[in-house]
Amino acid sequence: MTSTGCARGSRWPPDWRAASIAGAMGDDVTKRRDRTLDREPRSGPGSSGSDAAWAERAEAWRRDRLEPALERAPQRRIRFTTLGDLEVRGLYGPPDWRAPGAGPGGPTAVDHLGEPLRSRGAPKGVNPDEVPGPYADFDPLRDVGFPGEPPFTRGIHPSGYRSRLWTMRMFAGFGSAEDTNARFKHLLDAGQTGLSIAYDMPTLYGYDTDDPEAAGEFGTCGVAVSSLADMEVLLEGIPLDRISTSMTINSPAAPIWAMYIAAAEKQGYPRAILEGTTQNDILKEYIAQKEFLFPPEPSMRLVVDTIEFGTRELPRWNTISISGYHIREAGSTAVQELAFTIADGMAYVEACIARGMRVDDFAPRLSFFFNSHSDFFEEIAKFRAARRIWYRLMSERYRAENERSTWLRFHAQTAGVSLTAQQPLNNLTRVAIQALAAVLGGAQSLHTDAHDEAWAVPSADAALLALRQQQVIAAETGVANTVDPLGGSWFVESLTNEVERQAWRYLDEIDRLGGMVKAIGAGYPQKEIADAAYRFQREFDLGERQIVGVNAYADPDEVLEIPLLEVSEASLRTHLGRLERVRRERDASAVEAALRRLRDLSARPGSTETNVMPALIEAAEAYCTLGEMCGVFRGVFGEYREPVAV
């Protein structure tokens, strides 16, 4: 370690000119005053009048340095792009920031009531689509600024990770509740700081494990939960007053959350102190993951019911995690992931407002979930742009007054779709790079995929190694020592602006289609993702996109040598035995009454008075099964069948 300086809390143009802005974070500026503050400011991105000098120098560099170098060694390809097909130039500098139209763009053309937003103050009769808007040009102080202050490009907390590291939240679940409970405790003992529950496919589709539709799927991609009895075992011995829990479940999110609340209260934890997140993002199911059960309208009603109930009863719970992760896994670009996720968030905000909720009552507990993919700088730019977009939407489009309503808090997971079955140890490198991008992008929590996940649910050793990757980044790299260490990079800021400009274009188009629910009905995001996935596959097939170990540096003689986890028959027998015992021992009249009440409320229009969450908790406490509760919803709402598109 060196002793020549300290890692200050944030770096920005004044640091380049030697006048520190970090004294408030405990750094001693006075020692340098005599040799720094009396100097003439040097030209830089924060100074004026330097464009001509930079242009002259750039032309000389191109003529005298670059062109002769390219004559000796031509560029490897004609066009360089990000993974999402954004063009990347060979060099960036201050003129890229000050060019007309170099800013991030936005906000949307209209607000949530359809009133002009971007064209406010423009002459009457001007087409809002033709107005560049207030953020067309780039103002570093306004658009980047400082961490912990609007528009939060550099992070939502002033001290970044210097005060608190991100939550290391490993996604885990397999087999029976006993199996997964043991894995949770193993990871917590190893230093994990939050839980993330993966549910198996029958649970995700609202079936009990003994349903014929569930045959052969027990515990293979997550833990099986059929009733409150399973949830009780799953959470046994977990300090729910100190550990936050994330649950990746969508269509059956409300009944599963009801079981979690009931189990916690049986263990003596009041619901008001529970911390965690329910994914509960149904719109991305229609777009990408396809684990939908009911039509969009009643599904949105259930989401609003959970947000309303959580706002009232569980003030520390994030009732929705608006998820771009699965959109990206379906083949979208980074820009599409960002834009469609934000558009989903807008739909939820507007649905809650339509219910009669005040935006500042529920918006502080909205959270997001993004993919951290392999294009390092594009991912960092995406995360930074996401915070700025959400701030401007919430403050300008929805007129939020509470600053916390404008924070975009997000969990990140490394890209499962990037993991390869071939040469699986290569995945360790992929995951480490993707995790580093999430950290440099300012994630609040992070899951790192295990290297064996292209083959099976992670083994205990593989899951532990994935956790260790995060711990090494936190403890050994120094990246958490300063806030937003890439802030002010000419390339990163330019790419952040480009990602944001492209996202605003998508958001305007979705507004023109009538909002995200109607856009999904028209197949718009689905088509955009399909086109992007086709482009990537074509580039891969042509060898223009290389994946090490697959279409580059492949080993035709490779033999799989990593151990894989298998779910045992004994786990299935344990689970089915508990399910049979629950049905035999529970109070049948209480079950019938609870399901009757749930059916009655579900059949009435969604409102505060007909919120189904209290009825679901009553049903969970009566040991109604997940299949029975979702069966009520299927009977009332019907099942959704996706239209066939050609």
209, 132: one domain: no
Is the residue at 190 inside a domain? yes
245, 259: one domain: yes
Domain stop point among 141, 172, 188: 141
Least confident of 93-102, 178-187, 217-226, 491-500: 93-102
174, 129: one domain: no
Pairing of strands 410-414, 366-372: parallel
pLDDT of 312 = 97
pLDDT of 28 = 45
Assess whether pLDDT exceeds 80 at residue 418. yes
**Tens of pLDDT, residues 544-575:** 999 999 999 999 999 988 888 889 999 999 99
Is the residue at 93 inside a domain? yes
Count the domains in the chain.
3
432, 525: one domain: yes
Do residues 621 and 260 touch, judged by C-beta distance below 8 A? no
**Tens of pLDDT, residues 449-483:** 999 999 988 999 999 999 999 999 999 999 999 99
Assess whether pLDDT exceeds 80 at residue 76. yes
- How distant is the alpha carbon of residue 347 from its chain centre? 17
203, 311: one domain: yes
516, 615: one domain: no
Least confident of 132-136, 285-289, 318-322: 132-136
Is the residue at 558 inside a domain? no
Phi, psi of 277 (to 5 degrees): -145, 135
309, 364: one domain: yes
Q: What is the CATH number of the domain that holds 333?
A: 3.20.20.240
Q: Structure pTM?
A: 0.92
**Tens of pLDDT, residues 96-111:** 998 899 999 999 998 8
- Residue 466 CA to residue 450 CA, distance in Å, equals 5
Domain stop point among 492, 525, 541: 541
Do residues 388 and 504 touch, judged by C-beta distance below 8 A? no
Structure tokens at 139: 């103002």
Is the residue at 77 inside a domain? yes
Q: What is the mean pLDDT of the chain?
A: 91
Q: Please tell me whether residue 164 adopts helix, strand or coil conformation.
A: coil
Do residues 372 and 437 touch, judged by C-beta distance below 8 A? yes
Q: Which long-range contacts does 467-470 make (Cβ < 8 Å, 24+ apart)?
A: 467/168, 467/170, 467/187, 467/190, 467/191, 467/192, 469/428, 469/431, 469/432, 469/435, 470/166, 470/168, 470/435, 470/446
Assess whether pLDDT exceeds 80 at residue 230. yes
234, 131: one domain: no
**Torsion angle, alpha carbons of 537, 542, 547, 549, to 10:** 120
Looking at residue 559, what DSSP letter applies?
-
385, 476: one domain: yes
Supply the Cα-derived Rg of the chain in whole angstroms. Answer: 26
Is the residue at 105 inside a domain? yes
173, 106: one domain: no
Is the residue at 411 inside a domain? yes
Structure tokens at 318: 């994030």
Is the residue at 353 inside a domain? yes
478, 612: one domain: no
- From 294, 177, 200, 211, select the one nearest 249 (Cα to Cα): 200
Q: Which residues of 232-252 are buried (b: 16+ CB within 10 A; e: fewer)?
A: bbbbeebebeebbbbbbbbbb
**Tens of pLDDT, residues 185-223:** 999 999 998 899 999 999 999 999 999 999 999 999 999
Least confident of 22-36, 270-284, 366-380: 22-36
pLDDT of 46 = 43
Do residues 575 and 568 touch, judged by C-beta distance below 8 A? no
pLDDT of 643 = 79
Looking at residue 368, what DSSP letter applies?
E
- Residue 170 CA to residue 173 CA, distance in Å, equals 10
What percentage of the chain has pLDDT greater than the value 90?
83
132, 153: one domain: no
Domain stop point among 521, 541, 561: 541
Is the residue at 321 inside a domain? yes
Give the range of the structural domain holding residue 118, as residue numbers without chain letter. Answer: 73-141
Q: How crowded is residue 421: how many other Cβ atoms within 10 Å of its Cβ?
A: 14
Q: What separation in angstroms does the CA of 589 have from each of 585, 596, 616, 617, 636?
A: 12, 10, 16, 16, 21
